[in-house]
Chain A
């Protein structure tokens, strides 16, 4: 089918199938559908929208059909994205299964593992979280100590993970576990899939400056992980983790340029514009203009890097550069949103449900340049692997 035909069919299908209430911008966290065993849909429309999209494989448009995907080419997936954007259609399903585990399983998983784990991700039935960081292993992730001991057909896992996003709401965790204690530290880690519905796994939310608790501590006390649920070979975990991190980094910044509130809308909300819609503070207007320029530049760079990757030049360590640039951009956007709102941006708890949303987003954005590798770690990676500068 030609791309133009595909566009037309997609447009028609979306028009017929996307509920009206799913064509409004995301207002709050509750509007994002994460799925999972314990998921409560915010509305009947949210449920219908997920089911219809999942049936076509369009929650994961580029995954193969046999694993619950839509089997679309990159170009077709891009058209789908554009047509969804054209009617303001919300994403039917967001999850770490889609962004992170899926790509890693597609590359490193066996056929049986793909058949078992990918379709439930695509249908939003199982919610995943990521167990990487530990109290003593942050930027120095490879020194992680959570231990897995082989015992017949399973590993017995003991240790603690931290900053596990939404662990308290998740069903399974993909975790980095040291299973080969005698191997060099880079070769001693395995990538294990662990069902969290067992007595040996517990979680504890961490309250953040945003007032929310999206991150948790996760404890393993003689938790069991089946050997057949190890992705890749024993000791191959670090390689898989790095591959997955590059997807995570790309995911964190995919909406960095123009996702969410922007300072121009914020200035309109707070009334800090003149009769022609021009921002009243000229210096702030200049700062916003430079943000717009960098936003356009960042979007264009994401497009360019994808195109170059398709031409065989690969993304590789440049994912670290995009992650660094994108997260710094997102922080700037949030800071300028707050400035444009002035006093109104300071609202925290009030009569309206939306009070505090902008401030929470602003506070949340500080984590962008820490999670998935700090800005400094990513600059190290760029210096060493892109610029080939020497050093440890």
Chain B
């Protein structure tokens, strides 16, 4: 376990930063927003993720991936956070790949993991059912029906829901265990309602009205499917935290650049102690978030049994710090921070939305308390 990036990781970060600055700068998000993109992401960008070798970051080499682990996935997400790049990377390459790795049968892995690595599919994970993340509150049911299942229930704010080719739905089975079910979003009985959000993403709500599923729709390769679900949540939290960290870092960098250039009373406003102390405090908070995110990701790769506490701690801290960094950013920008022309407001919006997914700081702090036995 190392906090310092190794050579491969440095190269990955540098190439991700260069590529995203070129191909998915903040202006790309503005275009998606202004043109009312139906999916909220660009298919061309998603294809190029595969060309960069990132789509298969968690896919084994046998299945056409590069198998670099969560630390590497986190580096890509951090850079995505910096440019507010909208892409199905988290839902497909991290969450869906993890679901197949943890719970897929050999046949399911052989069919889907190569498609993920090749960037040929967009897969969305449908889990939350309430206004706030609540991983225990799953009322969607998958009832056994002959060799197959019948799925019924509702899912809310499914990320990449508007553009997904396949859904992986978390549903409760007859024995009350939770399982992952592959569902074609165009199947009979599935209805979709797109929800355009403040950060210009397009998640969707889904209703499943007695949807008939084949037996092999169930990811039946896990010994303990509840445990697989928990591990999926943890991996997702650490990776979402990495994106939030990137949002925080760029919001901070933009703010420092702005206060260094803006002059009042004849001097740059960055020379004022009132702003310097806010900036220095924020740097401290960023350092704390950075350490936890790195620790959570590397622990997932090297000691997965130790990872849950680090993952919820990292998610809580990255959520809190990204929101703080963007909020402080608006304040330190002054009036222009409130304009659509400046990017800082877009960071504020993304920090809020990214923070909500898989639990905000309050939710994850509760998990820290529970796991710590108090």
Contacts and interface: CB of A to CB of B under 8 A. Distances in A.
Interface of A: 264, 267, 273, 277-279, 285-286, 288-290, 292-294, 296-298, 300-301, 303-304, 307-308, 311, 321, 324-325, 376, 379-380, 382-384, 386-387, 389-391
B283 A321 contact: yes
A290 B366 CA distance: 9
B292 A292 contact: no
10 contacts: A277-B373, A292-B369, A293-B317, A300-B3, A300-B292, A321-B284, A324-B284, A382-B280, A386-B280, A391-B271
Main secondary structure of the interface of B (DSSP, over half): helix
A172 to B, nearest CB: 35
A292 B368 contact: yes
Q: How large is the interface on B (under 10, 10 to 19, 20 to 34, 35 or more residues)?
A: 35 or more
A142 B256 CA distance: 29
B338 interface: no
A-B pairs, 7 with minimum CB distance: A383-B276, A297-B288, A300-B291, A304-B3, A382-B280, A289-B365, A289-B369
Contacts, number: 124
Interface in B264-295: 267-268, 270-273, 276-277, 279-281, 283-284, 287-292, 294-295
A293 B371 CA distance: 12
A279 to B, nearest CB: 5
Interface of B: 2-4, 256, 259-260, 267-268, 270-273, 276-277, 279-281, 283-284, 287-292, 294-295, 309-310, 313, 316-317, 361-362, 365-366, 368-369, 372-374
Contact of A301 (B260, B267, B288, B310): B288
B280 A311 contact: no
Nearest to B368: A289
Contacts of A300: 3, 291-292, 294-295
B271 A325 contact: no
Contacts of B289: 297
Given A279-B374, A297-B289, 11 more contacts: A292-B313, A292-B368, A297-B292, A303-B291, A311-B4, A324-B284, A387-B276, A389-B259, A389-B270, A389-B279, A391-B273
B219 to A, nearest CB: 32
Contacts of B373: 264, 277
A267 B372 CA distance: 14
Contact of B313 (A279, A296, A324, A387): A296
* Most B Cβ at <10 Å: residue of A290, A324, A383: A383
Given A303-B3, A389-B260, A325 B374 contact: no
Nearest to A392: B271
A293 B374 contact: no
B276 A379 contact: yes
Contact of A307 (B2, B284, B309, B369): B2
A51 B280 CA distance: 44
B280 A286 contact: no
B279 A383 contact: yes
Nearest to B295: A300
